[in-house]
Amino acid sequence: MFFSTHSIAPRMIVLVLLGLGLAGCGATRQLPEAAAVVPNAEFLALYQADKEERFPIPASDISGIDESFLRRIVAYPTSERPGTIVVDTRHRHLYLVMENGQAIRYGIGVGAEGMRWSGRAQVGRKAEWPRWTPTAAMIRRDPQRNAAWANGMPPGLENPLGPRALYLHQDGRDTLYRIHGTNEPQTIGEAVSSGCIRMLNQDIIDLYRRVPVGAQVVVLPGESEKAPLVAAKAGPLG
């Protein structure tokens, strides 16, 4: 099996039963009968500071982020196999498919109009605290900001890739698109990046621990009129 109660418990939040983790066996969390107004404190627990990281991560400021973009389990009937990542760029959500018609839903920031990529890929590589190197196109578009890092920016809290990155490959080749963290949490739910898929730092760490290299990734077209099939029953991972 892909998920278990133990596999999705964060190591630093004992009160949050379904947080950080990787593989295991067992049943998934029982969802509430109906969506309800969730106390903000439950979400704050998911996005608190992590002092055990190589570069201690501060708590994410989620005060200006709509709760629909905060991590939670939702009903998500799909033909995709458990363990598949589905990225809905149009609605700014990323789903990690689970069993029993459920998924973990995360909020994302996506590429600005004209910079989006869609299709099927695989997680070709995973990196903790990755080095960031802007592409030649990014340097041409914004040389003042990006040219200084043509040879790469070292990892750290100022690095735009954040603490983790998943590198999307097709047919064994790097697409140059990433799922990664961000040092600009206010961009979650927006279309402002240069094409990559950005997540809150605590969320990319959570996703990183759940998926292996080789995991399937489906990026839906941004212009698609087909919204993901998500039922009203939903609750935070806590």
Q: Read off the tokens for 225.
A: 């009129």
β-pairing, 110-111 vs 191-193, is parallel
- What gap in Å lies between CA 147 and CA 152, rounded to an integer? 10
Known catalytic membership, residue 6 = no
Among 160, 178, 165, residue whose Cα is nearest residue 205 = 165
Q: Are 59 and 97 in contact (CB under 8 A)?
A: no
Q: Is 169 one of the catalytic residues? A: no
State the virtual CA torsion across 199, 201, 204, 206 in degrees, nearest 10.
-130
CB 236 within 8 A of CB 10: no
- State the Cα–Cα distance between residues 187 and 133, nearest whole angstrom: 20
Nearest to 202 by CA among 189, 185, 217: 185
Question: What are the residue numbers of the active site?
Answer: 180, 196
